[in-house]
């Protein structure tokens, strides 16, 4: 079972004109910017869940994508309890957007796929199973998307629908963003929000 580590005090951090409740949230906002993903911080409240971010789709002429709701937790692996709470809140609120659970960092060195941004919850569209099915949100290099000059990577569900959620691009392929490339992007994001003492 994955434990959520709240042992470290959250430090309010300003980035891109927004004051985030924690440096971890600010790191993720910077990572979204590095990748070219438009985001909104604390978009709205749901019954039982307050999403940290909403990721907006980038329109590139492919199938229309819906925004993605994001929850950030200090975890290094998948947390079923958090996923269930998020999914239950979405069902209770009758909100049809997909949830994305993110941890302390992107997931590196994943077998077969290399990297994932976190865990994406896909709706089964089955009244017998109303909650979301969470698996890795596998990252794909942006240069593999035709006509793309806007984003550095996109993601899709590991075992569900392989449509990429930021661009809407689908070609039956997934994954492939190399670990060292993703680590470089994450490092860029961390450098944007690192502590700098007053001179």
Q: Give the mean model confidence (pLDDT) for residues 96-113.
A: 95
Is the four-CA dihedral 115, 102, 41, 50 of positive or negative sign? positive
| Coil vs helix vs strand at 167 | coil
Angle between helix 179-193 and 23-35 (nearest 10): 120
* pLDDT tens sequence across 124-138: 766 666 689 999 999
Query: What pLDDT shows up at residue 117?
Result: 98
CB 192 within 8 A of CB 186: no
* pLDDT tens sequence across 4-27: 655 667 899 999 999 999 999 999
Query: What pLDDT shows up at residue 75?
Result: 96
Which run of H or E residues covers position 82? helix 80-93
- Indicate the domain borders of the chain: 13-193
Cα separations in angstroms, 118 against 50, 99, 186, 195: 18, 10, 13, 25
Structure pTM? 0.93
Average pLDDT, the chain: 91
What would the two tokens of residue 79 be?
């947390």
d(CA 40, CA 183): 24
d(CA 51, CA 59): 23
């Amino acid at each position: 079972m994955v434990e959520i580590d709240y042992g470290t005090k959250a430090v309010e951090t300003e980035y891109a004109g927004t004051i985030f409740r924690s440096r971890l949230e600010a790191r993720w906002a910077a990572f979204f910017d590095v990748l070219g993903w438009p985001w909104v911080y604390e978009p709205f409240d749901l019954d039982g869940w307050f999403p940290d971010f909403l990721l907006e789709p980038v329109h590139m002429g492919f199938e229309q994508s819906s925004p993605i709701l994001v929850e950030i937790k200090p975890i290094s692996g998948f947390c079923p309890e958090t996923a269930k709470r998020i999914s239950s809140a979405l069902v209770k609120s009758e909100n049809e957007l997909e949830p994305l659970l993110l941890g302390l960092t992107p997931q590196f060195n994943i077998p077969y796929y290399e990297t994932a941004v976190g865990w994406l919850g896909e709706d089964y569209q089955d009244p017998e199973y109303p909650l979301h099915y969470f698996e890795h949100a596998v990252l794909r290099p942006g240069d593999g998307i035709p006509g793309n000059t806007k984003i550095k990577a996109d993601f899709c569900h590991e075992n569900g629908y392989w449509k990429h959620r930021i661009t809407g691009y689908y070609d039956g392929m997934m994954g492939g963003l190399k670990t060292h490339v993703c680590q470089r992007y994450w490092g860029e994001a961390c450098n944007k929000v690192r502590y700098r003492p007053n001179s």
